[in-house]
Structure 1
């Protein structure tokens, strides 16, 4: 440690402006010091002293904080000013939806290690999407000590919005502090943001089940829906869980825009008779990028396959065969066969009528002869 003061006396002041403790002067003699001898530089001036040995006789010390420093005739190091900052804030763990009230807790902090703040005014300016529900936007505190903090608790309300957004709150500080026996006014400002989400209003009705279901036949289970919200739903999906076979076990529906209504159709192909159970899982991602799942258990009374009748012969022909030339040929042959049968039956019926009429005539002739 090198002492560069003049003489063996160390002079200083002690005080605390924040608590109105007046400064007092003190002197300590340092007898352990020995004078440093330094050869002067060869500058052509024999009487010039080295720069580091020149000390101002008017030197004095200012106190009041760790930021206090040496005051001389040429410069003064002022005390560092305290800052008020937002140390932390919270609004709960749940998402904030438009139209919902929530509790905001805001803690601010005095960064100075030595100076207190006085006459503190905190004002909050809310932008789009937020309002203060139960109080003014201005708060007053008489004082805040060094390295101390205070908390503001208030009720906020999220207003109606068109899309998800982060609402900004401007936090403004105005306060006084005393340093170097002088009262100084200070202002500071910070911003905090709170995300606001649109509420999910996707409504899905109970499924519409088919009136009849039989083994090997396709049956449709329909879900009517409407998106009453203001945001698009993404990655809508229908998934069949259970033992009933389906045309598509997983069906990707896509995105559903706000104000859109429609239906989601799931095609099942039961392969066993009796009461068959399954669960249809409908899932989507809402505007908050959260996965939402809704489960719908269903029961089908499946009948065994009915035996085929002659009338079902054409129905049994596959569609691709019906659409081919051979399908038309088979249909034409069946039609001609049916026509021939009808003609044959009509002729037979006509002959029978003629025979009966002839017999009637013969009977009359015999009566006439008698």
Structure 2
């Protein structure tokens, strides 16, 4: 919008100043300062814009935006209220990698007052949450300034993992934001599209590097004690990965540091289909103040756009000196690891969830532990998982200091749940003894499990229209439908066979959304007489990134187009017959008999008509009543 600029000094003001200058020779008119100009513009009910070369203030008319006190729900005033920060760099993630990805959200309009801001992040196929933070609350107005951005920015942080077989490409990540205007109870929803670049297994074999395991050389690491960290790095691809650097991060002198060694190991090459074990000598600080310490493992190599990262958790006993403060610390239970059998579970198919729980205390035994597993409800479901053949609660008699236990439960995912990540909450209630007194404790942990729906892509029977003639095109049709709840990706249809050719033997369809259907039509030509056999192939990627092929066979017989020649309408030359042919005699006989029958029919009809007429006349001869 063009702003109307008005010069500070009106003609009258300018004339007055000029008169003062003429009346007082040698007196210079001093230009106004910026503060004076701002004050002047404010008195005029306008906004200060700038000072011109002569020191005059340039004011602009104030632009106001009227915000209705009670706008209609689902109807933003000026389109979207929120947007991604301009110039925001698209984040990247490698196949098989887990990392925290940030989405900076700002206001798209200058004067909007909102409250109750909540964002729901939806991930496409191939990505899932490894922590349940797909729904978050935020407030742009109250955010602290971030040096990376200008102005108020709300940073949405999502803990995202990419499946090990994720394909390369940039995917859309819809962020549904729900908010209210101040003083209005009607929620409004809008969607901001963010993007993530996936470096998949198909882009470079080096991107298939995996951190398969890590471990410590002892179960109980004490403050001030040296220990070794072992890391296993795997290259499952068919090509060697060169110039591999493995780095341990988040090291400090107050927590954990390297023990006479550097924090990075270099491998000139990691051969194809091989695993390398690396050992890092470390030492825990004597002054460590937290039992649980997190280290960051980072791997780089030629061909990898961004580092492959993983988090390592070390449990350090703070009671190396037997101090009373350490001995009196309350124990805590954490989930050391959990496994559900793959990258995602399938709706309607039970699975085993295995978890390992650890007592982080170095000197206190946890007793009479009760664990309760409960599915976390979302906006659509009351929870996606239910136990199949057992209770959702378990009892454990005790867990020793720094000890761990394993527990499994069989769960059934909802068959009609939307494909996404769902949370499970594990609540712990336990007892412990400090200074001879029995204490009670409780804590809660939460994990996230991605759910997919079973593949229900169905292909109908092949329809062939009419007979197949050699050298002529014949049409083949086949229908397909995606009855599943997940989108199938990169659908490609092809036809092949014997004694036949097709003008377009391959067709790329792309993605087929849930509930969508269509048909495939192709014309084939038989090469020669005889059997024609073929099959139509449907190749696509399911929700888990696996390639699926569905085949439909067809067969028919090809025939030649051999027709008898048309005799035409030629009339033969008349010839003098030597005698009446048999067919002529028969024809004459038929005509004669037909004529006799026709004459007889006419005579009989006339006689009947005459008889009826005579009867009618005889009725007229009877005397009428009264004669």
Q: TM-score range by the shorter chain?
A: 0.5 to 0.7
Q: Shift in Å at residue 135 of structure 1?
A: 3.0
Q: How well do the aligned residues superpose, as a CA RMSD in angstroms?
A: 3.4
Counterpart pick for 1:207 among 435, 457, 462: 462
Q: Shift in Å at residue 261 of structure 1?
A: 3.6
* Separation (CA, whole Å) in 1 of partners of 2:327 and 2:365: 16
* Separation (CA, whole Å) in 2 of partners of 1:255 and 1:145: 53
In structure 2, the partner of 1:125 is 374
Cα deviation 1:6-41 (Å, max 9, x = unaligned): xxxxxxxxxxxxxxxxxxxxxxxxxxxxxxxxxxxx
* Separation (CA, whole Å) in 2 of partners of 1:260 and 1:227: 6
> In structure 2, the residue corresponding to 1:269 is in which secondary structure?
strand
Cα deviation 1:195-220 (Å, max 9, x = unaligned): 22122222212212343112221111
Q: Shift in Å at residue 95 of structure 1?
A: 5.1
> Radius of gyration: which is bigger?
1
Q: Shift in Å at residue 65 of structure 1?
A: 5.4
Cα deviation 1:262-321 (Å, max 9, x = unaligned): 42112212223322332321122333333221122333322235479789xxxxxxxxxx
* Separation (CA, whole Å) in 1 of partners of 2:564 and 2:413: 66
Structure 1 residue 239 and structure 2 residue 494: aligned? yes
Structure 2 unmatched ranges of 5 or more: 1-317, 377-382, 575-627
* Separation (CA, whole Å) in 2 of partners of 1:232 and 1:105: 29
TM-score for both structures, normalised by structure 2: 0.36
In structure 2, the partner of 1:97 is 346
* Separation (CA, whole Å) in 2 of partners of 1:182 and 1:194: 39
Structure 1 residue 156 and structure 2 residue 411: aligned? yes
In structure 2, the partner of 1:291 is 547
In structure 2, the partner of 1:171 is 426
Structure 1 window deviating more from structure 2 (259-268 vs 93-102): it is 93-102
Cα deviation 1:219-268 (Å, max 9, x = unaligned): 11211233333333333221123443211111123443433344211221
Q: 1:67 to 1:199 in 2, by over 3 A?
A: farther
> Residues 217 and 270 of structure 1 are in contact (CA less than 8 Å); yes or no, is this contact kept in structure 2?
yes
- Asked which structure has the greater RCO (Cα within 8 Å, sep 6+), the reply is 1
> Residues 453 and 485 of structure 2 are in contact (CA less than 8 Å); yes or no, is this contact kept in structure 1?
yes
* Separation (CA, whole Å) in 2 of partners of 1:83 and 1:100: 34
Cα deviation 1:92-128 (Å, max 9, x = unaligned): 3495322222222222122334321112221212122
* Separation (CA, whole Å) in 1 of partners of 2:538 and 2:326: 70
> Residues 68 and 79 of structure 1 are in contact (CA less than 8 Å); yes or no, is this contact kept in structure 2?
no
Q: Shift in Å at residue 87 of structure 1?
A: 2.1
* Separation (CA, whole Å) in 1 of partners of 2:319 and 2:430: 18
> Residues 419 and 485 of structure 2 are in contact (CA less than 8 Å); yes or no, is this contact kept in structure 1?
no
Structure richer in helix, relative to its length: 1
Counterpart pick for 2:531 among 251, 268, 275: 275
Structure 1 residue 220 and structure 2 residue 475: aligned? yes
Structure 1 window deviating more from structure 2 (276-285 vs 117-126): it is 276-285
Cα deviation 1:67-89 (Å, max 9, x = unaligned): 622x7xxxx66544433111222
* Separation (CA, whole Å) in 1 of partners of 2:415 and 2:468: 48
* Separation (CA, whole Å) in 2 of partners of 1:295 and 1:273: 25
* Separation (CA, whole Å) in 2 of partners of 1:190 and 1:309: 88
TM-score for both structures, normalised by structure 1: 0.58
What is the count of residue pairs matched by the alignment?
249
Counterpart pick for 1:116 among 338, 344, 365: 365
> Residues 67 and 78 of structure 1 are in contact (CA less than 8 Å); yes or no, is this contact kept in structure 2?
no
> Residues 174 and 185 of structure 1 are in contact (CA less than 8 Å); yes or no, is this contact kept in structure 2?
yes
> In structure 1, the residue corresponding to 2:507 is in which secondary structure?
strand
* Separation (CA, whole Å) in 2 of partners of 1:155 and 1:106: 12
* Separation (CA, whole Å) in 2 of partners of 1:249 and 1:188: 61
* Separation (CA, whole Å) in 2 of partners of 1:250 and 1:308: 39
Q: 1:134 to 1:283 in 2, by over 3 A?
A: same
* Separation (CA, whole Å) in 2 of partners of 1:158 and 1:67: 49
> Residues 227 and 259 of structure 1 are in contact (CA less than 8 Å); yes or no, is this contact kept in structure 2?
yes
> Residues 78 and 180 of structure 1 are in contact (CA less than 8 Å); yes or no, is this contact kept in structure 2?
no
